[in-house]
């Protein structure tokens, strides 16, 4: 049995299914959920975003910076930021 945030207790059936109470389903709507385990006593359900939604969020990001430095090669400035050369064989 799991005690959910609204104070209701739900059961896991023999196939491992959990019924989310109607009040909670009304709040979250009809979505896909991702399931995470925080520890052995805690399961977290989060709204899962579709790949197209995630792509739109990434596309909408507005990056700022000095355009003159946008094409500088990392090897030219690595020493300024503690970079080290690693020899590979």
On whether residue 40 sits in a domain, the answer given is: yes
What's the pLDDT band for 85 if we cut at 50, 70, 90? Answer: low
For residue 67, tell me if it sits in a domain.
Answer: yes
Pairing of the two strands 9-10 and 2-3: antiparallel
Residue 88 lies in a domain: no
Strands (E), the chain: 2-3, 9-10, 33-39, 42-47
As a whole number of angstroms, the distance between CA 28 and CA 56 comes to 21
11 within domain boundaries = yes
Tell me which residue range forms the domain holding 57: 2-81
* Model confidence pLDDT, tens digit, residues 16-63: 998 888 888 888 887 788 888 989 888 888 877 767 777 788 888 887
Any domain includes 77:
yes
Domain membership flag for residue 86 = no
Q: How many domains, the chain?
A: 1
Q: Please tell me the distance from the alpha carbon of residue 45 to that of residue 21, in angstroms, as a whole number.
A: 14
Could you give phi then psi for residue 41, rounded to 5 degrees?
Answer: -110, 5
């Amino acid at each position: 049995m799991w005690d959910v945030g609204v104070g209701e207790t739900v059961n896991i059936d023999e196939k491992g299914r959990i019924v989310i109470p109607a009040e909670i389903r009304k709040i979250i709507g009809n979505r896909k959920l991702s399931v995470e385990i925080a520890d052995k006593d805690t399961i977290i359900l989060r709204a899962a975003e579709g790949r197209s939604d995630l792509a739109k969020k990434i596309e909408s990001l507005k990056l700022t910076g000095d355009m003159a430095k946008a094409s500088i090669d990392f090897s030219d400035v690595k020493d300024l930021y503690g970079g080290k050369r690693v020899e590979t064989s």
